[in-house]
């Protein structure tokens, strides 16, 4: 069944105790056009987040995936060069016909001032400027006092990969990992790999869960297939194992489009949330699904016995505006036009009952008698998309009107698979 057919509730929402809210977004992907805006006169990376600052700064902790290095004076190929300053070119930007990113180090402080409290540096672009780029990215973040997870400098051998963040008496651990480095060798093992090092990740999650000084553990994997709404089997297996090991929630990224949510109940009756992909938060990608994202919000409660649990979750749909004023992330409440289409698709992929208003403090859906949550009106959830995304390769997605269309998006069409097998002789 589509996720929109239900609302995800969690036990313990009505339990008294100290509370914090955590916001998580998807990819922070600063293509060349965005960098040009950030480096222009009076420009900065902060400009992209102005419309959504109320949530980023309102949440007790806010997380995002920094997709690309922020390495001072590192050119293509990972070579040290003279720092040109805040200027778009070979050092800060990407070489012609290349997606080997590098952002000016000012991005770290700008993200901090925009309300981000922790970043993941583990993604398929982590090694775009080689080992030196990974090292200098860490230098950048440390100088800006921005907590990060998922990478380490050459020669550093800390026992663990996680980073701890604190807010209102809560200590929260974060572990970021990536499925790939785009084929660029990681000879010094600077990036934590989601699948190759899954045993190490799960062991660290369990150790953190067993630590009485840690209240919650979040896994932030960079995984999945680009432009696909359907999470793969490897994603599902790792997600379940992470929750079973003690993770409170999993906040995924990389596909550049939204993927569903899943509530997992462990063998010992704990409840965890998996956000398979929060989509792009900011980028220059232009297709409807690529401009569609969410701000996932979860609430944690620490009871009088000292135990902490996830008790509520919601999401705020977002849209990347691209016009003559540049790029910026906005809340999406539209019922018409392209943004209305984006919202309808969001409500078809995610539990529509967990959509919350774009205001702060957040009011999350619970089954408590005194709940002030009110389900929002909006476009009818759209489950009838044959293609996973109206991507540049596939053109605009074609809409169909039969009831089996949702299964095609989410699980693939058995009939099409049989036809393809007869036509090509494919075994899978």
- Total Cβ atoms within 10 A of residue 378: 18
pLDDT computed for residue 380 by the predictor? 86
Domain regions of the chain by residue span: 3-377
Per DSSP, what are the bridge partners of residue 93? 102
> Which pLDDT band, with edges at 50, 70 and 90, does 5 fall under?
low
The average pLDDT across 142-150 equals 98
The average pLDDT across 17-35 equals 97
Q: How many CA atoms lie within 13 A of 282 on its CB side?
A: 28
- Quick check: 221 and 238 in contact, CB under 8 A? yes
Cα–Cα distances (Å) from 256 to 18, 95, 295, 397, 416, in that order, read 35, 22, 14, 16, 25
| Pairing label, strands 308-323, 292-302 | antiparallel
The average pLDDT across 81-107 equals 91
Burial of 295 (0-12, 13-18, 19+ CB in 10 A): buried
pLDDT computed for residue 401 by the predictor? 36
pLDDT computed for residue 98 by the predictor? 77
Average pLDDT value over all residues in the chain: 89
pTM: 0.90
Say which CATH topology domain 3-377 has: Purple Acid Phosphatase; chain A, domain 2 (3.60.21)
pLDDT computed for residue 135 by the predictor? 98
Q: How far apart are CA 69 and CA 350, in angstroms?
A: 31
Q: Over the stretch 266-291, which tens digit does the pLDDT of each residue have?
A: 999 999 999 999 999 999 999 999 99
Q: Over the stretch 153-206, which tens digit does the pLDDT of each residue have?
A: 999 977 899 999 999 999 999 999 999 999 999 999 999 999 999 999 999 999
The helix/strand/coil state of 312 is: strand
pLDDT computed for residue 378 by the predictor? 85
Using a pLDDT cut of 70, give the percent of the chain over it.
88
- Total Cβ atoms within 10 A of residue 199: 9
pLDDT computed for residue 176 by the predictor? 98
- Quick check: 118 and 61 in contact, CB under 8 A? yes
Instruction: Report whether pLDDT(426) > 80.
Output: no
- Quick check: 312 and 306 in contact, CB under 8 A? no
pLDDT computed for residue 154 by the predictor? 96
DSSP secondary structure string for all residues of 342-400? HHHHHHHHS-GGGB--SSSS-------TT----PPP-SPP---BSSS---TTT-SPPB-
Contacting residues for 4 by C-beta, under 8 A, at least 6 apart: 347, 348, 349, 350, 351, 352, 381, 383
> Which pLDDT band, with edges at 50, 70 and 90, does 384 fall under?
low
Using a pLDDT cut of 90, give the percent of the chain over it.
83
pLDDT computed for residue 158 by the predictor? 76
DSSP secondary structure string for all residues of 275-296? EEEEBEEE-S--STGGGEEEEE
Instruction: Report whether pLDDT(151) > 80.
Output: yes
Nearest to 299 by CA among 394, 373, 389, 224: 373
State the alpha helices, DSSP H only, in 144-282: 198-210, 233-245
> Which pLDDT band, with edges at 50, 70 and 90, does 383 fall under?
low
Widest CA span in the chain = 63
Q: Which residues of 238-275 are buried (b: 16+ CB within 10 A; e: fewer)?
A: bbbbbbbbbbbbbbbbbbbbbbbbbbbeeeeebbbbbb
């Amino acid at each position: 069944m589509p996720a929109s057919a239900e609302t995800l509730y969690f036990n313990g929402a009505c339990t008294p105790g100290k509370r914090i809210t955590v916001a998580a977004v998807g990819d922070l992907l600063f293509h060349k056009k965005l960098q040009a805006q950030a480096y222009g006169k009076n420009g900065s990376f902060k400009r992209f987040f102005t419309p959504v600052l109320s949530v980023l700064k309102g949440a007790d902790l806010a997380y995002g995936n920094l997709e690309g290095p922020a390495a001072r004076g590192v050119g293509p190929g990972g070579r040290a060069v003279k720092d040109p300053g805040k200027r778009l070119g070979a050092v800060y930007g990407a070489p012609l016909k290349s997606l080997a990113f590098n952002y000016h180090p000012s991005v770290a402080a700008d993200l901090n001032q925009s309300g981000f409290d922790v970043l993941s540096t583990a993604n398929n672009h982590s090694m775009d400027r080689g080992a030196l780029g990974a090292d200098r990215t860490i230098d950048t973040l440390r100088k800006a006092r921005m907590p990060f997870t998922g990478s380490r400098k050459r020669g550093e051998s800390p026992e663990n990969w996680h980073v701890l963040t604190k807010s209102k008496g809560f200590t929260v651990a974060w572990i970021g990992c990536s499925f790939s480095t785009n084929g660029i060798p990681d000879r010094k093992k600077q990036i934590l790999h989601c699948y190759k090092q899954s045993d190490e990740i799960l062991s660290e999650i369990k150790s953190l869960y067993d630590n009485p000084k840690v209240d919650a553990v979040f896994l932030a994997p960079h995984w999945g297939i680009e432009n696909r709404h359907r999470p793969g089997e490897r994603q599902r297996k790792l997600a379940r194992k992470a929750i079973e090991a003690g993770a409170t929630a999993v906040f995924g990224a990389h596909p550049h489009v939204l993927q569903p949510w899943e509530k997992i109940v462990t063998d010992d009756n704990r409840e965890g949330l998996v956000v398979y992909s929060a989509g792009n938060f900011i980028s220059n990608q232009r297709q409807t699904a690529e401009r569609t994202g969410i701000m996932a919000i979860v609430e944690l409660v620490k009871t009088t016995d000292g135990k902490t649990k996830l008790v509520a979750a919601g999401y705020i749909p977002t849209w990347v505006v691209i016009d003559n004023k540049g790029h910026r992330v906005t809340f999406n409440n539209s019922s018409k036009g392209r943004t209305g289409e984006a919202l309808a698709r969001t409500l078809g992929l995610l539990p529509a009952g967990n959509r919350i208003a774009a205001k702060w403090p957040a009011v999350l859906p619970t089954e408590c008698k005194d709940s002030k949550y009110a389900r929002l009106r909006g476009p009818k959830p759209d489950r009838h998309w044959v293609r996973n995304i109206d991507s540049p390769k596939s053109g605009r997605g074609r809409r169909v009107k039969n009831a089996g269309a949702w299964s095609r998006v989410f699980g693939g069409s058995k009939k099409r698979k049989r036809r393809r097998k007869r036509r090509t002789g494919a075994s899978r």
